[in-house]
Structure 1
Amino acid sequence: MAPRPEPMGASEAIDPDYLRQRLLDMLAIPSPTGFTNELSRYVCRELAALGVDYQLTRRGTIIAHIPGEDRAVTRAAVNHIDTIGAVVSELKPNGRLGLMPVGTWSSRFAEGGRVSVFARNRVYRGQVLPLLASGHAFNERIDTLPVAWNQIEVRLNEPCRTKADLVDLGLRSGDFVAFDADPEISDSGYISSRHLDNKAGASALLAALKAIGESGRRPAIDFQAIFTITEEVGTGAGSSLSSEVVEFVGIDIGPVAPGQNARETGVTLCAQDTSGPFDYHMLRKLRRLCREHDIAHQIDVFRYYYSDANSAVKAGHDVRDALITFGTDATHGYERTHLSSLSSIAELLFVYAFSQPIGLPRPYSAAPVPVVS
């Protein structure tokens, strides 16, 4: 019998260059909810290159699968690849486009954005501007505009002065509008960009899958990596889990702001979000794994937040759920995190894959509960 490979340390297992390049590749691919086909194809190609089997659901969720030592049960690491964006809501008489958001985000962060508008036969480029955009024409009136989606419009880089001009270009209501990510990575390791939510998480998950494959070991139980495509509109993983899945770890963005404990470095474990607390035993286990493997971490509670984990539980799946996040400043705006946080996410997923599952709850005992005075 061949000797079992020596376990590799979490930090040594993760390839940071691979993670970084996957992130930049995905940030260059537009993927607002409902328009994720190209990014899905990219992820599928990458899984194939890693030698990881996968399947596509009818709606397009990707379910990758690595067989474990124990085939009876499965754990899932779940990450969404759809992003916020917009659709054309109106062809305006002035030759510009009205917008309706895809996902929940403020028009404040849309102003000034460079965009691609996906018409029937071609892609048009443009910018998002307030209705009153020229200080030389409107002076202080510019500062009186409220923050609202009906106060902004898209100016195309085309000769459009009327609604008829837009129609002639093949534009129509419902066309998808994707905002440029415009990523920038500093020498100090910070990355600022739109759409880190949740392409950053996807890059960490792919890096973890690469490390698992290169380790020469099988996960403790069957391991699924699920890439969902509708998290930003609230559905996400609701229909993607099989009955064999007993543990669910969501991967997503963690808000860094006053009153929050999330950080742009390390893993931020979420104890509770708007839907309520996550599984107590899963939180303890993930925290223990972080301590045992020297993975920087902190715990936080998110006040205005939902994720794929919520959609799975709401859909009726009987799973122990957890949420691990990369702390990010200015979520759903020009977001910023640190590459070390993404490596920490990948490290935790790597060691988690080889850990034993949490057992079933103990049977009820009629023994009296001690009273603490």
Structure 2
Amino acid sequence: MRVLPIDQRYVLDILMKLLHTPSPSGYTDRVVHVVCEELKRLGVPFELTRLGAIRATVRGAARAPARAIVSHLDTLGAQVKALKPNGRLEVVPVGHWNARFAEGARVTLFTDGGSHRGSLLPLKASGHTFGPEVDSQPSAWNNLELRLDEPLGGIEDLMKLGIYVGDFVAVDANPELSDNGFINSRHLDDKAGVAVALGTLKALHDTRPTLPSDVYFLFTILEEVGVGASAVLPDTVAEMVAIDNGTTAPGQNSAEYGATIAMADSSGPFDYHLTRRLLLLCKEFGIAHQRDVFRYYRSDIAAALQAGHDLRTALVCFGIDGSHGWERIHWNALESLIGLLSVYVQSGAMFQREREALGPQDGFPIQPQ
């Protein structure tokens, strides 16, 4: 068992491709096709749920107990709430993000028959007109409007373009890679996690190690609105590791370097034994890491557990500064996560008794006293 070689150019290229593919929750078909085509290139068989969540399968020596690695394809965005008499659009957020990060964003509006470019602006956007009121107006979604780059004078003009309430708005990612390893962009949550998953699959594809049991790579499409990995898990999975962002902010222990192992989030603690397995792998293979607990956070795991799946869960994170806004990460964190996941999938399942959903007391672990 070893840390597998990582194709950095591949990981960064696929990350850029994902960031340039709009995918707000509820409008994810395009990014699903992007990932499906990538899985085909890597020779990884996969299946789709009715809504488009992806389950890719890497076969191991045994079918069970299987493991799963999950990341989500959907991002934050917006929807049209109302057509306004001034020819602009009222919008509401898709997912939980603050209106201050929407102000000034360049966006694409998707209608039933096409798309239009525009900008999200405060109602009082011109300092030459409103003076100090530009600074004193509150930052709130009901204080924003979408200005489309079209000749529009009122509601009738909007309707002629085929614009309706409920149309989706995708926010430009505007990614930027720095020579020193920093990556700035919107939607790194969780396009960076998807790139980590695909980077791990690329490492498995290039080296072909024998895995002790099946590993499923799951890509969900509704995590930002709370659905997550609720309907894509096979019954043989006993352990699931989610890849998502860890917030580097005051009061948090996450970092933009190394792997962050989450011990708990707002839905409760992660599995004691699985988190310690990941921590031990980090120590054994010299992977920089830290632990953290998140107060205002939930992931694909919460949705899976709430849907009734009985399995051990863990969350591994790339440290992200400015989460759900102008986000920043560092390549070192992505590299660390791929290294960790590459040895995790080569390691055996923790408890063979978990081949079946129910079993005897024999083989059930005990936590230290």
Report the TM-score, using the length of structure 1 for normalisation. Answer: 0.94
Could you tell me which runs of 5 or more consecutive residues in structure 2 were left unpaired when the two chains were aligned. 355-359
- 2:205 aligned partner, one-letter code: G
The whole-number CA distance in structure 1 between the counterparts of 2:135 and 2:155 is 27
Quick check: 2:52–2:221 contact (8 Å CA) kept in 1?
A: yes
Pick from 152, 157, 173 the counterpart of residue 144 of structure 2: 152
Indicate the residue corresponding to 2:157 in structure 1.
165
Indicate the residue corresponding to 1:60 in structure 2.
52
SS in 2 for 1:32: coil
Trace 1:204-215 onto structure 2 (pairs within 5 A).
204-215=196-207
Indicate the residue corresponding to 1:135 in structure 2.
127
Matched, 1:279 2:271: yes
The whole-number CA distance in structure 1 between the counterparts of 2:32 and 2:245 is 20
Matched, 1:182 2:174: yes
Pick from 260, 268, 278 the counterpart of residue 260 of structure 2: 268
Pick from 234, 247, 264 the counterpart of residue 242 of structure 1: 234
Matched, 1:226 2:224: no
Indicate the residue corresponding to 1:40 in structure 2.
32
Trace 1:195-344 onto structure 2 (pairs within 5 A).
195-344=187-336
Indicate the residue corresponding to 2:349 in structure 1.
357
The whole-number CA distance in structure 2 between the counterparts of 1:114 and 1:216 is 43
Quick check: 2:64–2:237 contact (8 Å CA) kept in 1?
A: no
- 1:72 aligned partner, one-letter code: A
Indicate the residue corresponding to 1:121 in structure 2.
113
**264-273 or 115-124, which deviates more:** 115-124
Query: Number of paired residues?
Result: 360
- 2:54 aligned partner, one-letter code: I
- 1:127 aligned partner, one-letter code: S
Indicate the residue corresponding to 1:27 in structure 2.
19
Matched, 1:110 2:102: yes
Could you tell me which runs of 5 or more consecutive residues in structure 1 were left unpaired when the two chains were aligned. 1-6
Matched, 1:92 2:84: yes
Trace 1:7-18 onto structure 2 (pairs within 5 A).
9-10=2-3, 13-18=5-10
The whole-number CA distance in structure 1 between the counterparts of 2:65 and 2:33 is 28
Identity %: 49
The whole-number CA distance in structure 1 between the counterparts of 2:183 and 2:103 is 21
SS in 1 for 2:261: strand
Offset of residue 340 of structure 1: 1.4
The whole-number CA distance in structure 2 between the counterparts of 1:134 and 1:213 is 54
The whole-number CA distance in structure 2 between the counterparts of 1:216 and 1:91 is 55
Per-residue deviation, residues 16-60 of structure 1 (Å, max 9, x unmatched): 110000000000000000111010000000000000000001111
- 2:284 aligned partner, one-letter code: E
Offset of residue 364 of structure 1: 8.1
Quick check: 2:66–2:237 contact (8 Å CA) kept in 1?
A: yes
Per-residue deviation, residues 278-305 of structure 1 (Å, max 9, x unmatched): 0010111000111111111100001100
Quick check: 2:63–2:236 contact (8 Å CA) kept in 1?
A: no
Instruction: List, as ranges, runs of 4+ consecutive aligned residues in structure 1 with deviation greater than 4 Å.
Output: none
SS in 2 for 1:90: strand
- 1:60 aligned partner, one-letter code: G
The whole-number CA distance in structure 1 between the counterparts of 2:193 and 2:179 is 21
SS in 2 for 1:13: coil
- 2:361 aligned partner, one-letter code: P
Offset of residue 241 of structure 1: 1.0
Offset of residue 339 of structure 1: 1.2
- 1:103 aligned partner, one-letter code: G
Inter-CA distance 364–213: structure 2 relative to 1 (3 Å threshold): closer
Indicate the residue corresponding to 1:4 in structure 2.
none
Offset of residue 218 of structure 1: 2.3
Per-residue deviation, residues 78-111 of structure 1 (Å, max 9, x unmatched): 0000000001111111000110100011111100
- 2:79 aligned partner, one-letter code: V
Indicate the residue corresponding to 1:3 in structure 2.
none
- 1:363 aligned partner, one-letter code: Q
* Pairwise CA RMSD: 1.7
